[in-house]
Amino acid sequence: MSDKKSFSPIIGVGVLIWRGDQILLGKRISEEQNVCWQFPGGHLEKDESVIECASREVAEETGLKVKALRHLGYTDEVFSVSQCQYITLFVSCDFESGEPMALEADKCEVWQWFDYGQLPTPLFRPIEIFISQQIRLQQNNLYDLHCKTPFALNM
The span from the CA of 68 to the CA of 60, in Å, is 18
- When pLDDT is averaged across residues 81-99 and rounded to a whole number, the result is 90
The H-assigned helical ranges of the chain are 50-62, 125-139
- Tell me which of 3.30.420.40, 3.90.79.10, 3.40.50.11400, 3.30.830.10 is the CATH number of domain 10-130: 3.90.79.10
Domain map of the chain by residue range? Answer: 10-130
Residue 151 Cα distances to 38, 72, 143, angstroms: 27, 12, 6
User: Is the pLDDT assigned to residue 33 strictly greater than 60?
Assistant: no
- At residue 116, the pLDDT reads 84
- At residue 8, the pLDDT reads 84
Taking all residues of the chain, what is their mean pLDDT, rounded to a whole number?
Answer: 84
Confidence of residue 53 (pLDDT cuts 50, 70, 90): very high
- At residue 30, the pLDDT reads 60
pTM: 0.82
- At residue 150, the pLDDT reads 37
- At residue 151, the pLDDT reads 35
